[in-house]
Chains A and B, each alone.
Chain A
Amino acid sequence: MLSQLAQPLLSGTLMGGVYGLIALGLSLVFGVMRVSNFAHGDLLMIAMYISVALWEGFGISPYVSIFGVAIFMFFVGVFIQKAAITPILKSEKERSPLRLILFTVGLSIFLQNLVLMIKGGAPVTATVPLSTQTLPVGDLIVSIPRLLAFVLSIVITVILWFFISKTDTGRAMRAVSQDRETSLLMGINEYKTYAIAFGIGTVLLGLAASMVSTFLYAFPTMGSSYTLRSYVIVALGGIGSIPGAMIGGLVVGIIESISAQFMPASYSEVVIFIIFILVLVIKPSGMFGKERK
């Protein structure tokens, strides 16, 4: 039994690390701004399509284009923030998330169907030489691109954690997320902080997208399941918590991978939904998060 579960446990852990990284961007934005981003998964999808296009069109490996994609995604994030989210936040006195939900759902529908219209519905991936490489460890098989993605995800998470806790920008973000009114009095530029937070969120998506585009398929409607998964992870790990996102990612990755042993692959979203409802029923404030006042 144990040996049967070892392989899914391993693959689940590797995938979970990447899930954690993907959710981290959402957690950050949600934590700092209280802004719901329903296009989160769709932005990941866009970044994956870009990575694949660069590989197929110009032969640039996703491992090379990763920084370019990340920088591009930063500007995409800042643009969305400045063009839409900031104006909405400014016009809503009571900072209700409703218009932002509607806006980001609109963005999600737009992006999904734009890709569908241009590239069609068939899944795409960047099959680089490394894609099929494996590393045998005892009885287990470790996929090298997955291992690489996992390791990089952990490294990026640690770097982000340092950034948030040690730099002034990071401190400003934490201040705004903890007590908006006071931090404004202390002269923190709220909207600049938001733009940076959103930008970092999309950078993380760009990094994750490049790494997974070598072994996962991208398709136009993939976004919603990643958005849902990320929210589940954020709910598990606690809003705004960096280690929480990583732990939540690992939990979700492992549960998904183990449950896939017992049911058809198409049921993975059913599993995420069940975890989602369980988290909401058992502990709405998040498994690892602190209760907020």
Chain B
Amino acid sequence: MKIKKSTRIIILIVGLLLLAFPQIVQNDYYIQTAIMIAFFAYMASCWNILGGLAGQISFGHSVYAGIGAYTSTLLFIYLGISPWLGMLLGGLLAGVIAVLIGMPTFRLQGTYYTLSTIAFLTVVRILVLSNPTILGLETRGAQGMIIPLVNGGDSPANMQFLTKTPIYYVIIIMLVVVAAITNYLKNSKTGYYFSAIKTNQDAAAALGVNVSRYKLICAFISAFLTALGGTFYAQLAMYVDPSTLLGNEMGQQFGIIAIVGGRGTILGPIIGSLVLVPLQEIGRALFGGTVQGFHLVLYGLIMMIIVLFLPDGLVSLFKKLKPKNIKKSTNVNQLGANSEQ
């Protein structure tokens, strides 16, 4: 695909800024915030592959993050397998499970798929919460698992870092990769098929699109990438627990961020994360954690407003500023027609 020269220059500048960021700020709090913004941008981008490109809405996507985190952590604890490898295995497992869940539910109206995602997350959470072991492996229920330190936490080969800076680079690279995958998909046969499925499954099938197969492919990719993010999160906290990773809150946030930013676009999830994640910090600063749910009240409210008045998300504001630039392939604009059956 051809990228315009001006776009290339912008990408270059942004890239350099991102690389230099930890050196410029030299402040752990800001780097940590940047990590969280990049993490949620990454997760929302993964969600966006299924929810934005193919129009299959999941509000339980954190289940794949949980599967990724638990798999890599258990592999590390029991077999000493590095999380770098463990995250790929967790990704595969998450992908396979996404396909198994998709098979009975994708055949139906979108509503039932969305419900099944929420229900499945709930079920997995309950199972993990109420059992001290899973398949004979100790997962410690609600307590969660602490990831043992290697060499006092200084073991890049085991995804353990002493400072925030390398962690920051890891998540930035992951974010760039998911953006590149999204861009590739948008400009390939597969992505075109996703787009057709999103608008009208029957019309897509009439043009030879194997609708259920492509939905499952999409679910696999999205779940695989989400699971990698789950392992990242676990290694960031050095801790895995069901109420955070498998919580409803996490599952809702990925979707909200992508929707608020702009579904089906590459920049949408990133913009969404830049706007929404700092709200959490503001909430914490205002109430110091005494008031629960503050940022989610705002998230819910913002989401309703966006869906009502700016259905293509914040990213469409930028598009409106640029005059008549509705060209193909780089087109980030989605005019309304988002249906599913």
- Chains A and B bind each other: yes
Residues of B within 8 A of A114 (CB): 293, 297, 300
Residues of A within 8 A of B108 (CB): 280, 284
Does A87 sit within 8 A of B, measured CB to CB?
A: yes
C-alpha gap A280/B116 in the complex (Å): 10
Does A178 sit within 8 A of B, measured CB to CB?
A: no
Q: A225-B122, A269-B123 are in contact. Are A102 and B307 (CB under 8 A)?
A: yes
C-alpha gap A108/B304 in the complex (Å): 10
Nearest A residue (CB) for B127:
A270
Residues of B within 8 A of A93 (CB): 336-337
A228 touches B307 (CB 8 A): no
A38, A106, A221, A273: which contacts B114 (Cβ < 8 A)? A38
C-alpha gap A267/B336 in the complex (Å): 40
Give residues of chain A (246-275) contacting chain B, Cβ–Cβ below 8 Å: 264, 266-267, 269-270, 272-273
Give residues of chain B (94-138) contacting chain A, Cβ–Cβ below 8 Å: 104-105, 107-112, 114-116, 118-120, 122-123, 126-127, 129-130
Residues of A within 8 A of B234 (CB): none
Min Cβ gap B127→A in Å is 7
Q: A98-B338, A269-B123 are in contact. Are A87 and B308 (CB under 8 A)?
A: yes
B111 touches A97 (CB 8 A): yes
Q: A99-B338, A269-B123 are in contact. Are A105 and B303 (CB under 8 A)?
A: yes
Number of B residues, CB within 8 Å of A: 48
Nearest A residue (CB) for B302:
A106
Min Cβ gap B199→A in Å is 8
Task: Choose, from B81-89, B177-185, B252-260, B314-322, the stretch at the interface.
Answer: B252-260
Does A120 sit within 8 A of B, measured CB to CB?
A: yes
Residues of B within 8 A of A107 (CB): 300, 304
Q: Digit string of B40-64 for contact with A (CB within 8 Å is 1, else 0)? A: 0000000000000001010100000
Residues of B within 8 A of A92 (CB): 336, 339
B57, B107, B292: which contacts A102 (Cβ < 8 A)? B57
A272 touches B119 (CB 8 A): yes
Q: A117-B294, A228-B115, A273-B122 are in contact. Are A266 and B336 (CB under 8 A)?
A: no
B336 touches A91 (CB 8 A): yes
Min Cβ gap A264→B in Å is 6
Most buried by A among B57, B105, B307: B307
A91, A111, A280: which contacts B105 (Cβ < 8 A)? A280
Does A277 sit within 8 A of B, measured CB to CB?
A: yes
Does B237 sit within 8 A of A, measured CB to CB?
A: no
Number of A residues, CB within 8 Å of B: 52
Q: Digit string of B124-166 for contact with A (CB within 8 Å is 1, else 0)? A: 0011011000000000000000000000000000000000000
Does A231 sit within 8 A of B, measured CB to CB?
A: yes
Does B311 sit within 8 A of A, measured CB to CB?
A: yes
Q: A98-B57, A109-B252, A109-B300 are in contact. Are A276 and B119 (CB under 8 A)?
A: yes
C-alpha gap A281/B112 in the complex (Å): 12
A88 touches B307 (CB 8 A): yes
A96, A108, A121, A273: which contacts B300 (Cβ < 8 A)? A108
Q: A93-B336, A98-B338 are in contact. Are A106 and B292 (CB under 8 A)?
A: no
Does A61 sit within 8 A of B, measured CB to CB?
A: no
Does B296 sit within 8 A of A, measured CB to CB?
A: yes
Does A36 sit within 8 A of B, measured CB to CB?
A: yes
Nearest A residue (CB) for B255:
A105
B115, B126, B130, B307: which contacts A106 (Cβ < 8 A)? B307
Residues of B within 8 A of A117 (CB): 291-294, 297
Does B248 sit within 8 A of A, measured CB to CB?
A: yes
C-alpha gap A224/B340 in the complex (Å): 22
Residues of B within 8 A of A225 (CB): 122
Give residues of chain B (231-257) contacting chain A, Cβ–Cβ below 8 Å: 248, 252, 255-256
Q: A36-B111, A101-B110, A101-B111 are in contact. Are A224 and B308 (CB under 8 A)?
A: no
Q: A117-B291, A224-B248, A269-B122 are in contact. Are A109 and B338 (CB under 8 A)?
A: no
Most buried by B among A36, A97, A106: A106
Q: A113-B296, A269-B123, A280-B104 are in contact. Are A96 and B248 (CB under 8 A)?
A: no
Does B301 sit within 8 A of A, measured CB to CB?
A: yes
Residues of B within 8 A of A291 (CB): none
Nearest A residue (CB) for B60:
A224
Residues of B within 8 A of A69 (CB): none
Give residues of chain A (1-38) contacting chain B, Cβ–Cβ below 8 Å: 30, 36, 38
Give residues of chain A (71-104) contacting chain B, Cβ–Cβ below 8 Å: 84, 87-88, 91-99, 101-103
Min Cβ gap A240→B in Å is 14
C-alpha gap A292/B115 in the complex (Å): 21
Q: A103-B304, A107-B300, A113-B296 are in contact. Are A276 and B126 (CB under 8 A)?
A: no
C-alpha gap A220/B249 in the complex (Å): 13
Most buried by B among A36, A105, A108: A105
Question: What would 11 more interface pairs be, CB under 8 Å, given A97-B110, A269-B122?
Answer: A84-B304, A92-B336, A93-B336, A103-B307, A106-B303, A109-B256, A110-B296, A117-B297, A273-B123, A276-B115, A276-B116
The 10 closest A-B pairs by CB, nearest first: A110-B300, A96-B339, A113-B293, A106-B303, A109-B300, A116-B293, A113-B296, A36-B111, A106-B304, A273-B119
